[in-house]
């Protein structure tokens, strides 16, 4: 009787225990889902070894068929179980498809920001003065009353204090509040004169704060660029020439700059510079003047030998005029629609 069941073997020849061992060894070596699937096709698929084996049972004589059938079915169940365990293990140890890195995806576009318009304007101002031979120095934003006011000839009871509505620091000493947020960059005039000898030619960019109601041309936080020049033979003509060169460098050679008398306790004489706005209005850009002789004397300079000039430029005002912006409050609103235009 024909007993061909499996390849060249008869059912009697087949060592099911050996098939089991071989199958389990191969399954253990299948180290990814594809290898496990191939193994499954090889043993349990339609044309798989164990499936063929079961199909061939029909040709066995009835007395042997039952027992061979039970053995082969047990083998199939055992291999199916082993396969399920292996697949679960492989799935647990490999990343889920959604977490896999798809190297063929196009990169996300790189969003590039840019500098704030006040920083851009500040850099232009610095470049203009560097080209005229000025050095750039910085000073503290939290300042002593002594530097912000007193040594600039503005004592505690002086009405000129009203020119700078001040934000005081909550720090008491001897019944007084001696510390504040600087209202202008002028305290650096004193700090710099204290530590250096002439010739002096510096600018001091920096943030200042004022307890001020905001409107189209006033912010409570503003940026200034202080300038200080001290040497023998410095005159008001140097002040005017320097500031005119600055205005023409930033706004073009045809822009009109208006010099008018102004009062600041630390200069004598004092001036303000305004430039003409589109609608014909004049917009004040900076305060300036000749360094007061008493300030030079108080810091040990001989005012008969040395003279100097100083100025304080409003950077937001400069940016407004440069870019044609009619309200200063846009700068610190953080509205991207505005900032992206620069």
Binding site for ligand FA5 (CB under 6 A): 184, 186, 210, 212, 218-219, 222, 224, 264, 267, 270, 284-289, 310-312, 314, 316-317, 328
Cβ neighbours of residue 257 under 8 Å, at least 6 residues apart?
A: 243, 244, 247, 273, 274, 275, 285
What number of helices (H) and strands (E) belong to the chain?
11, 11
284, 270 in Cβ contact below 8 A?
Answer: no
Our answer to whether residue 210 is catalytic in this structure is: yes
Shortest Cβ distance from residue 205 to ligand FA5 (Å)? Answer: 12
CB of 270 to ligand FA5, least distance (A): 6
Quick check: is 23 catalytic? no
Q: Exactly one of 19, 39, 164, 291 is catalytic; name it.
A: 164
Smaller CB separation from ligand FA5, 96 or 213 = 213
Three-state SS for 3-37 is CEEECCEECCCCCHHHHHHHHHHHHHHCCCHHHHH
Residue 56 vs 265, nearer CB to ligand FA5: 265
Rounded to an integer, what distance in angstroms lies between the CA atom of residue 290 and that of residue 268? 5
Active-site residue, from 40, 151, 182, 184? 184
Least separation in angstroms between CB 285 and ligand FA5:
5
Strands 257-262 and 267-276: antiparallel
87 is catalytic: no
Judged by CB, which is closer to ligand FA5: 205, or 289?
Answer: 289
Per the residue annotation, which of 225, 267, 273, 291 is the catalytic one?
267
Specify whether 103 is catalytic. no
Residue nearest to ligand FA5 (CB): 314
CA atoms within 13 A of residue 171's CA, in its CB half-sphere: 11
* CB contact at 8 A, 38 and 48: no
In angstroms, the Cα distances linking 128 to 102, 132, 325 are 51, 7, 22
Question: Is position 50 annotated as part of the catalytic site?
Answer: no
CB closer to ligand FA5 out of 205 and 314 = 314
Q: Which is nearer to ligand FA5, 30 or 288 (CB)?
A: 288
Q: How far is the CB of 142 from ligand FA5 (least distance, A)?
A: 17
Rg (C-alpha) for the chain, rounded Å, is 44
| Beta strands 221-232; 200-209: pairing state | antiparallel
Catalytic residue among 39, 68, 224, 247: 224
Whether 2 contacts 59, CB under 8 Å: yes
Active site residue 271: no
Closest contact distance (angstroms) between CB of 120 and ligand FA5 is 17
Beta carbon of residue 269, minimum distance to ligand FA5 (angstroms, whole number): 10
Contact indicator for 83, 36 with CB cutoff of 8 Å: yes
The smaller minimum CB distance to ligand FA5, of residues 264 and 330, is found at 264
Residue ranges in 149-235 assigned as alpha helix (H):
187-195
Query: Could you list the active site residues?
Result: 164, 184, 210, 224, 267, 310
């Amino acid at each position: 009787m024909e007993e061909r069941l499996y390849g060249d073997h008869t059912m009697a020849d087949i060592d099911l225990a050996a098939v089991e061992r071989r199958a389990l060894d191969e399954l253990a070596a299948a180290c990814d889902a594809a290898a496990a699937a191939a193994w499954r096709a090889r043993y349990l698929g339609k044309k798989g070894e164990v499936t063929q084996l079961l199909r061939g049972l029909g040709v066995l004589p009835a007395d042997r068929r039952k027992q061979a059938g039970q053995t082969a079915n047990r083998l199939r169940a055992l291999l199916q179980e082993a396969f399920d365990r292996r697949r679960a293990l492989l799935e647990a140890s490999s990343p889920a498809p959604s977490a896999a890195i798809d190297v063929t995806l196009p990169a996300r576009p790189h969003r590039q920001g840019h500098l704030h318009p006040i920083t851009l304007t500040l850099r232009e101002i610095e470049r203009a003065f560097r080209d005229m031979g000025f050095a750039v120095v910085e000073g503290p934003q939290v300042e002593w009353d002594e530097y912000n006011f007193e040594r600039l000839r503005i004592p505690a009871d002086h009405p000129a204090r009203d020119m700078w509505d001040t934000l005081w620091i909550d720090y008491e000493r001897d019944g007084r509040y001696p510390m504040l947020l600087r209202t202008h960059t002028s305290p650096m005039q004193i700090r710099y004169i204290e530590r250096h000898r002439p010739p002096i030619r510096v600018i001091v960019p920096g943030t200042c704060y004022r307890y001020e109601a905001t409107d189209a041309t006033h912010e409570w936080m503003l940026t200034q660029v202080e300038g200080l020049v001290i040497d023998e033979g410095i005159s008001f003509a140097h002040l005017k020439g320097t500031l005119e060169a600055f205005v023409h460098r930033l706004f073009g050679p045809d822009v009109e700059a208006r010099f008018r008398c102004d009062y600041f306790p630390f200069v004598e004489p004092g001036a303000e510079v305004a430039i003409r706005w589109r609608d014909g209005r004049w917009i004040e850009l900076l305060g300036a003047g000749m360094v007061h002789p008493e300030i030079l004397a108080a810091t040990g300079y001989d005012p008969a030998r040395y003279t100097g000039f100083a100025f304080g430029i409003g950077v937001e005002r400069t940016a407004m005029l440069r870019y044609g912006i009619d309200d200063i409050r846009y700068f610190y609103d953080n509205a991207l629609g505005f900032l992206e235009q620069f």
